[in-house]
Amino acid sequence: MQADAENLRLFVYGTLLSGEREHALLEGAELIGAVRTAPSYTLVDLGPYAALVERGTVSVTGELYRIDRKMRFRLDVKREVPVLFQRIFVALEDGTRAETYAMKDEQVRGKRRLADGDWRQRFAPRPRAEGLRGVGRGRPR
């Protein structure tokens, strides 16, 4: 992967987001802005952190940063690239690309998918299915 200035745009979507617990790892990085990916990915809740998976139908919410090579190396070490995460390019909603950290589908099998693509909404109440209203109430006849 080339390391020119264009490749040093990093899309973050989980614990590296501003206000999240690992955001300090981006200290000194330039925030370009809030962005979304093209609707081609899956966002998975792994408990303490999120994972983006290629192949999906979700537009993932995140932030775009400009980082230098030293920061990218430190993040690669923290993300255990290439054992735990892989660094990939994602397509953004505006048609550009950026690097991000992703997992393979087999690594997240059976884990909860975040249908709205927003890590910060992981604790929001899920809408109840209409067909389940009243199920389990009353005595069977």
Which sequence spans correspond to the domains of the chain? 5-114
Q: Output the pTM of the full model.
A: 0.84
Domain 5-114 class?
Answer: alpha beta
Distance (Å, rounded) from C-alpha 33 to C-alpha 61?
11
Cβ contacts of 94-100, under 8 Å, gap ≥ 24: 94/35, 96/9, 97/9, 98/9, 98/10, 98/11, 98/35, 98/64, 99/1, 99/7, 99/8, 99/9, 99/10, 99/11, 99/72, 100/10, 100/11, 100/12, 100/13, 100/52, 100/62
Q: Check residue 2 and give its pLDDT.
A: 42
Q: Are 46 and 114 within 8 A, CB to CB?
A: no
Q: Check residue 66 and give its pLDDT.
A: 97
Q: Check residue 130 and give its pLDDT.
A: 57
Q: Check residue 1 and give its pLDDT.
A: 38
Q: Check residue 3 and give its pLDDT.
A: 44
DSSP 44-99: EE-SSSEEEEES-SB--EEEEEE--HHHHHHHHHHTTTTTS-EEEEEEBTTS-EEE
Per-residue pLDDT of the chain (141 residues; tens, 9 = 90+): 344 544 599 999 999 999 999 999 999 999 999 999 999 999 999 999 999 999 999 999 999 999 999 999 999 999 999 999 999 999 999 999 999 999 999 999 999 999 999 999 988 887 665 555 554 444 444
